[in-house]
Amino acid sequence: MHLLRVENLSVSYLTESGEVPIVDRMSIKMGMGEILGVVGESGSGKSMMALAIMGLLSPKMRMRADYINLDGEDLMKMSVEDRAAYVASKAAIIFQEPQASLNPCFSIASQLDETIAFHGGGGRADRKTKALELLDDVGINRPDLVLKMYPHQLSGGMNQRVAIAMALACEPRLLIADEPTTALDVTIQSQIIELLVKLSRAQQSGLMLITHDFALLSENTDRIGVVYSGQLMEHAATENILSSPHHPYTKALLDSIPQLGDRHVKGSRLFALDGNIPAIDQLPVGCRLGPRCPKAERQCVNTPELRSIENYGKVRCHLASVSSVNKAEADS
């Protein structure tokens, strides 16, 4: 049974001159307790997808989907109120800017307490004990002190821990972390990611880790989805993607990160995709990577569909099956 199944989720932005699609027919599956990494560049729609699942899109956005099945119930069939309550009980989300995602006018205690109370946290004393426990769970040294503080008195890393504690207060089956460490320092980053992974494994809850940093996903995730320009380009197990990426975009992303031991040698260059990420209202015809793709062929002006490839996963590329066949031939 799946924790999350999203089929053909589209999100568009309403303007005076019509709808601008931001997310295009995204389909994603997550098993119980699975850690899914979603990687993509800014504006690729990866955050919009998360907000759409959580029902947090701004009023100017429209979403459509065949179904969004979260822990056995289809969100698309619920009324707005039911849906909000159901999602809040099953899923939680943390954002990129920990400072901004906590209310600056309330103490940590009152924000945590509010959440615990709303999710049926019992009496005042019980709630306080629960709050202390939660802060302890996320590795905060002196929970009693932190409870009395306000977000601006805490560092970014601490605030992110508090945000995680608040998300855990809902006892979610699914935790979505939208660029949780981008605003943090390297050493703090790894602590937060480790914490998220540890909590997810301990509670057998799903974790969706959204980031632009491939390296971050390589160690921690079970499966990875690669998003480009609003479309899911590749969706497969982490080791598959890392060892033999099928989509040229994924390959380019992996190649454009300097490799270990790759030292300054005159004339050596990194692999880099040409050109710029297309503006969302000026998408190319056919494959959205087309004009930048080093392997583009004539057939790439036709829009590729997301196709399953045996023993691998799903890929949106005309050339993917060919190359995998070639690979199979070579193996035999």
Partner 1 sequence: MSFSFCQFGKQSGGRLLSLLEAKNICRKYRVRSYNLGQSGMLEAIKNISFALEKGETLAIVGESGSGKSTLARQIIGIEKPTRGDIFFENERLEFANKKHRKNRFRNIRMIFQNPYESLNPQARIGKILDDVLSINTDLNPKQRKQKIESTLSRVGLLPEHRHRYPHMFSGGQRQRVAIARAIILDPKVIIADEPLSALDVSIQAQILNLLQELQEEMGMSYLFISHDLNVVEHIADHVLVMYQGEVVESGSVSQVFDRPVHPYTQSLFASTPMYRKRFPNFQKPRDKKIKNVKKGACCFAERCPYSEQRCQVEHPDLITKEDSSRVACFKNEN
Partner 2 sequence: MTSIIFRQFLLLILGLFTLTLFTFGISQLFPDPLILSDAHAKTINDSLIENYFNYIAFLSQGEWGLSRISGRSVLDEFFIYFPATLELTTIAIIFALVLGLPLGIYAAENKNKWQDKLIVSTTLIGYSMPIFWWGMLLVLLFALTLGISPVASRIGFEYDILPVTGFMLIDTLLSDQPYALAAFQNALQHLVLPTIVLGTIPLAIFTRVTRSAMIDALSSDYIRTAKAKGLPYDRIIWSHALRNAMIPIVTVIGLQISVLITGTLITEKIFAWPGIGKWLLEAVYRRDLVTLHGGLLAIASLVIIVNIAVEVLVHLVNPKLRHKK
Question: For residue 165, which of 105, 106, 104, 102 has the smallest C-alpha distance?
Answer: 102
Residue 203 class from Cβ within 10 Å (0-12 exposed, 13-18 middle, 19+ buried)? middle
* Distance, CA of 82 to CA of 62 (rounded, Å): 19
Determine if 67 is a binding residue for partner 2 (CB under 8 A): no
Please say which residue, 83 or 161, places its beta carbon nearer to partner 1.
161
Shortest distance, position 244 Cβ to partner 2, whole Å: 37
Shortest distance, position 59 Cβ to partner 2, whole Å: 8
Q: Are 147 and 131 in contact (CB under 8 A)?
A: yes
* Distance, CA of 215 to CA of 262 (rounded, Å): 16
- Residue 101 CA, chain-centre distance (Å), reads 17
Cα dist from 235 to 27, 30, 200, 312, whole Å:
9, 11, 21, 9
Q: How many CB atoms are closer than 10 A to CB 324?
A: 17
Q: Residue 104 binds what, of partner 1, partner 2, none (CB under 5 to 8 Å, by partner type)?
A: partner 2
Determine if 97 is a binding residue for partner 2 (CB under 8 A): yes
Q: Are 75 and 83 in contact (CB under 8 A)?
A: yes
Shortest distance, position 292 Cβ to partner 1, whole Å: 8
Shortest distance, position 132 Cβ to partner 2, whole Å: 19
Determine if 73 is a binding residue for partner 2 (CB under 8 A): no
Please say which residue, 58 or 276, places its beta carbon nearer to partner 1.
276
Q: Which residues bind partner 1 (CB under 8 A)?
A: 41-42, 139, 141, 185-187, 189-191, 212-216, 218-220, 252-253, 256-264, 266-274, 276-277, 292
Which region, judged by CB under 8 A, interacts with partner 2, from 23-31, 80-88, 306-314, 317-325? 80-88
Q: Judged by CB under 8 A, which of 11, 63, 87, 217 binds partner 2? A: 87
Q: Judged by CB under 8 A, which of 3, 54, 70, 183 binds partner 2? A: 54
Go through the chain and tell me how many residues it has. Answer: 332
Q: Judged by CB under 8 A, which of 92, 146, 224, 300 binds partner 2? A: 92
Cα dist from 241 to 208, 222, 313, whole Å:
17, 11, 9
Residues engaged in binding partner 2 (CB under 8 A): 51, 54-56, 58-59, 84-85, 87-89, 92-93, 95, 97, 100-107, 114-115, 118-119, 150, 152-153, 163, 166, 170
